[in-house]
Structure formats: structure tokens, C-alpha cells
A and B are shown apart, each in its own frame.
Chain A
Amino acid sequence: MTVFKAYLKVLNKNKWMVILYTVILIFFAGFNMKTSDTRGFVTEKPDILIVNEDENIGITKHFINYIKENSNIKEIKEDENARNDALFYRDVNYIIYIPKNFRIDFLEGKNPEIKVKSTGDYMAFLSEMLVERYFKIANIYKSIETNEEKLEMLIENTLQKETEVEMTSKLDTDTLTKAAYFYNFANYSILAGSVFVICFIISSFKEEKVRKRTIVSSHNYRKYNRELLLSNSLFAFTLWLFYVLLSFILVGKAMLTSHGIVMILNSFVFSFTSLTLAFFIGNLISNKEAISGIVNVIALGSSFLCGAFVPMEFLPDFVITISHILPSYYYISNNEMVKTLEIISLESLQPFFINIGMMLLFSLLFIVLTNIVTKRKSS
């Protein structure tokens, strides 16, 4: 108990670091997990800003309504700088400037020009498709219909023709994506939290004066080591449990489905790997000041390279290749895989277990390395 009590004391000193990493997790995971409970096929909607200098009547109004139905209309302050900022930070993908007298010029066949600003990504492409499509139809019907109202009717009827889309997956992909996002980000918090705290505690116990006192005390060194090991494991376990509870709050019921449970299992194994890694680093370094540098490099490095912050599919191939040497890669791959898995069965989970095996192998490697390091140091 003596060791454990001392452990808790040091832990208490470090509580702010753990709280910091947790807050980062809640903030980023919560911030990026948009909720939508839609099932079945829904089209993607670009964010569009319409700057209308024409009167909002007739064909202009009809066009604006059509864009509204097929996109998310954004309201931005009436200031060109604010609009430019919105475009740069991708708050809007596309800005449509409808010029003065657009409606009349259009109806008179003058082919007025529409100015746009575009982010050039696929959402902007989609927006452009919408605009082009509308005016293509409008122009054709204009050759046979001069009455504006009837023209609008013709356009309306044509645009309403829907294509039938069937979706095969019955998975609640949205919630599972959310869960995967949370657990991917937890890679950073678990790694940084446990490595930082455990390293700090180990180096506190290794301080020369403390160590000398421990050696001369009547406390059996085996018992001492065991208690220290148990305390660290208990900490890693508590941290993991806490993040799992957090996922229940942030993600919800989906964590209780078989997909969710598999993800929780995955994070448990990863927490264990982090624990062994923390043990290794803690025993390797003796300088307390170096801890925070090392933790940052390891946690940020693995998180950036393995897809905790930027999704794996967006990472360049050579980065993915490099990331194979990090345990985080196997942890995050598992989350990504479970997210899309249609049926959870022993057979479909085979690649999952291979990744789990890899993480355990890493743990074994860290344990062996720790032993080598401590043996060398003690001799």
C-alpha cells in the first residue's frame, strides 16, 4: 500500500496533464462528430452563398429556390472580406453572384454572365453542376415558352424527375463513423496521457534519494516492483475505462452494438500496448524535463502518421508505409475496418484479430526491451 499511496500522490500532481488530454479529446471528437439520423440514400449538399443583386422575383427567385433545395444556404455578413474568408475556410464551397437585371437580361436572351467564387473541390464541382443544369434546362424551354410563369412550371416539372437510388448497406454508417472518429482521436489521448503520467511517475520513483531510501528500507523489492506495476496498470485501465464511458456519452447507444463492443475491445488492447510503451520509455529516460518533449513527439507523431487526426484515406502512400512500424497504425486500421464491416463474425473479424496480434507483439517487444534496459542499468 505504501507504494500505491505514493503513486497516488504523484498522480495527483499530474492530474492537470490528464485533464488537458481529455479535454482535447472531448473538444475535438465532440466538435467533429456531426449528428444526423438519416438512413437510406441522401445526396451530399454543398454549402452555397448567394449574393443576389437582382430583384428576388420570377426566374431569379425560382433559381434561388432551386439552389436552396439542393444545398445548404449559408448566411454571411454582407462584406466581401467576410465572404472571402468564408470561402477560404471552407464555410462555403461556392459563392454565386447574381448581377443586377439578371432576370430581364436572361428572359430577353442576352445570356447574362454569372460570377462565382469556388473552392475548386468536389463540393464546388457539385454546385457548378447545379447551376449549369438549371440554366441549361431554362434556356431550352425558353425557346418554346415565353411566359415566365409557364417557363418556371416547365423547369420545375423537369427538375422534379428523380432517379431511383437503392442503398444496399443497412449499417448505421453515420454513428459508426462517429464512433470510429472518437476512438481514432483517442489514440492521441490514450498515448499521450498514459505515456506522460507513467513516465513521470517512474522517474519520480527513480529519483536518486527516493531510490536509495527504497533500497535500504525493509520493503521487499519484488513486492515493490509488483505494486508499482499494478498501480501503473490500474491507472492505464482507469484511463481506458474513462474514455469508454466518454464514448457512451458522446456516441450513444451504438457503442452497445457488436460493432461498438469490438471497437472497445480494440481500444483495450491498445491501452495495454501504450502501457508497455510507457514503461519502456519511463525506464529508458531519467531526465524529467525530457518527458514532455518525448511524449509530444511520440503521441503527435503516431497520431499524425497513422491517421488519428487526418483520416487514413487522405494520407500519402509513403506515410502509410512508414506508419506500419507504429502500433497506432494497427489500432486505427481496426477502427476503420470495423466501421465498414457489414456482419460481425469470427470469419469477418479475421483481419481484426491479426491487427490485435500485431499490437500484442508490440507490447511483447516493449516488455522485452524494458527488461534489457533495466538489466543494463542495474548492472
Chain B
Amino acid sequence: MFLHNLKYSLKTLFKNKTLIFWTFAFPLILGTLFQMAFQDIEKNETLDTISIAIVEEKENNIKNIFEELEIEDKKMFSIFYGNEEEAKEKLEQSEISGYLILSDTPKIIVKENGINQTILKYVVGEIIETEEIMNNMITYEISQNGVLTNEFYQTLYENIKKIELENKIEIKDISSRNLSYTLIEFYTLIAMTALYGGILGLYLINQNLANQSSNGKRIAVSPASKRTIIISSALAGYIVQLIGIALLFLYTIFALHINYGEHFFFILLLTLIGCLAGLSMGIMIASIFKINENTKTGIVIAFTMLSCFLSGMMGITMKYIVDKNIPILNIINPANMITDGLYSLYYYETLDRYYFNIISLIIFSCFMLALSMQSLRRQKYDSI
């Protein structure tokens, strides 16, 4: 009986196009969209060469400093030299971020606020400061020795450079290398697929409920063990779910080139338990609510979407806001248990938080199954 029901449950699931779309195809489509939209977003946040123009009204050595500035082996500025008219024209066309007029005091002209404009201002500011520092050093020298020797004047700039190089405050970056936040989107995708599995559980349980389908009525009057039927149906749901999640992993890894990091075994373990949580949630909703199937499906979808939303699917900031302000909401949120478990695996060096999420998911699943059992056992109808 067990195998018989398992086989036919699998067949019914695979024949239901809507179910297959939501559990198999939709995550793949969403994953593709995520990858297309987000693949450049982090690259765009790092600094690129800034285009500026310099208008020289007076001979000035500032431009040499600008030419020399580099950041990570890339030139910091790409500079156009010309007159003010040309610079203005370029600014108007947004070809440059701003231009610098070099007269007695340098002046920056920009079109709008922005990061490039701020950096330009900082760099010019530093150049002006260096002049100020030189002046102060000269004043100091005069106050100390009364006269300014030619030698001092000549070595002043080198001395400053020397101080800069030798007495440098060491800035040591100790941040984790794994800072790619777009990965969270893919974690929420895994969470969504796992929870969408709930629809499968729901559909199968409904097939076995006498008050939901004629199939259920037939099963109810048959002498088959209800436990065997329910367990084999749930297993069929779980198998289909695992096929769905395997497809998602294969697709994201090989087609979208998502790098899930080195702990693949842990990721898999969490996903397997996550799928169980999704399935048990579906079974719970199917068994305790006495409403029609469409409304039940609606509840599963709405609950899944809300959980995913709170765990950062529509913008990862949401997860952070909830974690920070209403942590309890995300502690009981199954989508967040999956997302957060994967996130902690990626970002943290210790596994405490990961295990906490694994245990939460197991507790969640057990709780859901206990609720369903409570309502499924000893169901009898005199008439229906």
C-alpha cells in the first residue's frame, strides 16, 4: 500500500502543471532575474576612475598631483584640459563629474551632488591643506631660527613627505572577505523554494481528506491504514520537493555561476531540513483549516511570501531591520531560519548561529507535524 500510494502521489504531483510551475519553474525564473539585475550592482559600488576637467587660469602644479593619484593601480582621475567653455559643455552633457578652475584659489564646479563630486572636493581640499601646512611650517621655522634658510625651504616638501611615510598610522582592515550581500537574495530563493514545497504537502493531504475531495472520500471508506497513506503521501511530496531544490542548485551553480562557498555539505543539510519545514507547514495548513483548497493554497503562498519578505527577499535591508528591531519575529520565521542559517555559514567563522537555526527548523517542523497529527487522527464522518 505504501509503495502504491507513493507511486500514484508522485504521478499526480508531476501531472499538476500549476504546482510544478510554482515549485520548479518559478524559483528558476526568479533566480535568473536576480542574477541579471544584481550581478553588477556591487561592482558599481566600488570606485572607478572619475572623469573631470581642469581649466588652468594660472600655471599651477596641482595638475601634476591629480595625474599621479592612483587607487588600486587604477588612475583616480581621467582629466581633460581645456577652457571653461569646453568644460562647461562637457559637464552639461554629463561627460565629467565636475571641473576645477585653477586660479589663486581653486574652485570646483559641479552639476549635482554625488560621491565623485565629494571625492573631488576632498582631493582638492587635501592639496590646499598641504599648502597651509607648508606655510605653518615656515612660520614655525622663522619663529625658531629667526631666518628662513634656503636649505630649509628646499627640503621642506621632502621633510613633509618623509614624515608622512615614516610616521604613518597603520590602518589594518580586519573585515571578513565575504561581504557580498546579493548572495542573500539567493538564500531567500532557496528558502522560498523550500517553503513553497508546502503547496505540495497541502495538495496531497487534501487528496486524502474526506471533506476535501472525492478521492479523500474513497480513501476514508477503504480499509487502508490512514497512517500509511498520509506518510507515503508526505514522502512523495518531499521527494518532489528535493527534485525541485536540486534543480535550483544545479541551475544557480552551473548556469548562473553562483558561488555558495565552501561549506556545501552544511548548506545541503540546512536545505533538507528547510524543505521538511516547508512540507510540514503545508500539511499543517491542510489539516487544521476546514476551508476549500484554493484558500488553503492562498494561505501557504501568502505566508511564504511574507516570511521571505521579512527575511530579505525584496531587499536585504528588511531582514536587517527586523533582526535589529523585532528579533523575535525572525526567530520564529521559517524562511529566516533558512536564510539566516546560510548567511551565518557564509559570513561567520563559528557555527553557533548555524546550529541555532537548524534546531529552530527542526522544532518548527515537529510543532507543525504535531498540530497536524492532532487534527488528522480519528477523523470520522457519519455523513458528509
Contact A142 to B128, CB < 8 A, known contacts A41-B110, A89-B316, A91-B320 = no
Q: How long is the Cα–Cα vector from A300 to B30 in the complex, in angstroms?
A: 8
Q: Out of B38, B108, B314, B353, which one reaches A166, CB within 8 Å?
A: B108
Q: Out of B47, B111, B163, B174, which one reaches A117, CB within 8 Å?
A: B174
Q: How long is the Cα–Cα vector from A115 to B171 in the complex, in angstroms?
A: 6
Q: A167 to B110, Cβ gap below 8 A?
A: yes
Q: Out of B45, B113, B168, which one reaches A121, CB within 8 Å?
A: B45
Q: Tell me the B164-184 residues at the A interface (CB within 8 Å).
A: 164, 167-176, 179, 181
A44 within 8 A of B: yes
Contact A161 to B175, CB < 8 A, known contacts A139-B168, A310-B41 = no
Q: B115 to A139, Cβ gap below 8 A?
A: no
Instruction: With both chains docked as a complex, state the minimum distance between the C-beta of A167 and any C-beta of chain B, in angstroms.
Output: 6
Q: A313 to B44, Cβ gap below 8 A?
A: yes
Q: Out of A81, A89, A113, which one reaches B169, CB within 8 Å?
A: A113
Q: Cβ of A157: which chain B residues have Cβ within 8 Å of it?
A: 132
Q: Cβ of A293: which chain B residues have Cβ within 8 Å of it?
A: 18, 21-22, 26
Q: Tell me the A155-195 residues at the B interface (CB within 8 Å).
A: 157-159, 161-169, 171, 173
A129 within 8 A of B: yes
Instruction: With both chains docked as a complex, state the minimum distance between the C-beta of A68 and any C-beta of chain B, in angstroms.
Output: 17
Q: A164 to B105, Cβ gap below 8 A?
A: yes
Q: Out of A85, A106, A137, which one reaches B129, CB within 8 Å?
A: A137
A135 within 8 A of B: yes
Residue interface bits A269-313, CB-to-B below 8 A is 1, else 0: 000000000000000000001100100110011001100011001
Q: How long is the Cα–Cα vector from A184 to B206 in the complex, in angstroms?
A: 41
Q: B108 to A164, Cβ gap below 8 A?
A: yes
Instruction: With both chains docked as a complex, state the minimum distance between the C-beta of A324 and any C-beta of chain B, in angstroms.
Output: 14
Q: How long is the Cα–Cα vector from A301 to B26 in the complex, in angstroms?
A: 11
Q: Which of A200-208, A230-238, A240-248, A314-322 faces chain B?
A: A314-322
Q: Out of B37, B106, B115, B317, which one reaches A44, CB within 8 Å?
A: B115
Residue interface bits B40-83, CB-to-A below 8 A is 1, else 0: 11101111000000000000000000000001000000000000
A210 within 8 A of B: no
Q: Cβ of A316: which chain B residues have Cβ within 8 Å of it?
A: 36, 39-40
Q: B173 to A163, Cβ gap below 8 A?
A: no
Q: Which of B116-124, B209-217, B231-239, B373-381 faces chain A?
A: B116-124
B347 within 8 A of A: yes
Residue interface bits A11-34, CB-to-B below 8 A is 1, else 0: 000000000000010001000000
Contact A143 to B41, CB < 8 A, known contacts A89-B320, A117-B174 = no
Q: Cβ of A143: which chain B residues have Cβ within 8 Å of it?
A: 163, 167
Residue interface bits A36-73, CB-to-B below 8 A is 1, else 0: 00000111100000000000000000000000000000
Interface centre among B21, B167, B314 (most CB of A within 10 A): B167
Residue on A nearest B314 in the bound complex, by CB: A28
Q: Cβ of A137: which chain B residues have Cβ within 8 Å of it?
A: 129, 133
Q: B37 to A144, Cβ gap below 8 A?
A: no
A378 within 8 A of B: no
Q: Tell me the B1-40 residues at the A interface (CB within 8 Å).
A: 17-18, 21-22, 26, 29-30, 33-34, 36-40
Residue on A nearest B46 in the bound complex, by CB: A121
Number of A-B contacts (CB under 8 A): 217
Q: B33 to A118, Cβ gap below 8 A?
A: no
Contact A165 to B108, CB < 8 A, known contacts A116-B172, A117-B175 = yes
Q: Out of B21, B129, B170, which one reaches A114, CB within 8 Å?
A: B170
Interface centre among B40, B119, B126, B171 (most CB of A within 10 A): B171
Residue on B nearest A300 in the bound complex, by CB: B33
Q: How long is the Cα–Cα vector from A97 to B136 in the complex, in angstroms?
A: 31
A351 within 8 A of B: no
Instruction: With both chains docked as a complex, state the minimum distance between the C-beta of B44 and any C-beta of chain A, in angstroms.
Output: 5
Q: How long is the Cα–Cα vector from A115 to B140 in the complex, in angstroms?
A: 33
Contact A88 to B179, CB < 8 A, known contacts A143-B163, A304-B33, A315-B40 = yes
A211 within 8 A of B: no
Q: A114 to B169, Cβ gap below 8 A?
A: yes
Q: How long is the Cα–Cα vector from A357 to B175 in the complex, in angstroms?
A: 51
Instruction: With both chains docked as a complex, state the minimum distance between the C-beta of A343 and any C-beta of chain B, in angstroms.
Output: 11
Instruction: With both chains docked as a complex, state the minimum distance between the C-beta of A180 and any C-beta of chain B, in angstroms.
Output: 13
Residue on A nearest B126 in the bound complex, by CB: A133
Residue on B nearest A32 in the bound complex, by CB: B315
Q: B46 to A122, Cβ gap below 8 A?
A: yes
Q: Tell me the A327-350 residues at the B interface (CB within 8 Å).
A: 340
B107 within 8 A of A: yes
Q: Cβ of B71: which chain A residues have Cβ within 8 Å of it?
A: 125
Q: Cβ of A123: which chain B residues have Cβ within 8 Å of it?
A: 115
Q: How long is the Cα–Cα vector from A319 to B163 in the complex, in angstroms?
A: 50
Q: A28 to B45, Cβ gap below 8 A?
A: no
Q: Cβ of B118: which chain A residues have Cβ within 8 Å of it?
A: 43-44, 126
B363 within 8 A of A: no
9 chain-A/chain-B pairs, Cβ below 8 angstroms: A84-B347, A112-B169, A116-B174, A119-B179, A126-B119, A139-B164, A143-B163, A161-B125, A163-B121
Knowing that A125-B71, A140-B133, A157-B132 touch, tell me 8 more A-B residue pairs with CB under 8 angstroms. Answer: A106-B169, A120-B179, A132-B169, A133-B129, A137-B129, A140-B137, A166-B109, A167-B112
User: Measuring CB to CB, which residues of chain B are less than 8 angstroms from any residue of chain A?
Assistant: 17-18, 21-22, 26, 29-30, 33-34, 36-42, 44-47, 71, 88, 91, 94, 105-115, 117-119, 121-122, 124-126, 128-129, 132-133, 136-137, 140, 160, 163-164, 167-176, 179, 181, 314-317, 319-320, 323-324, 343, 347-348, 353
9 closest pairs, A vs B, by CB?
A: A89-B320, A117-B175, A121-B45, A304-B33, A135-B169, A113-B170, A44-B118, A304-B37, A43-B118
User: Measuring CB to CB, which residues of chain A are less than 8 angstroms from any residue of chain B?
Assistant: 24, 28, 41-44, 81-82, 84-91, 95, 97, 106, 109, 111-123, 125-126, 128-129, 131-133, 135-137, 139-145, 154, 157-159, 161-169, 171, 173, 289-290, 293, 296-297, 300-301, 304-305, 309-310, 313-316, 319, 340
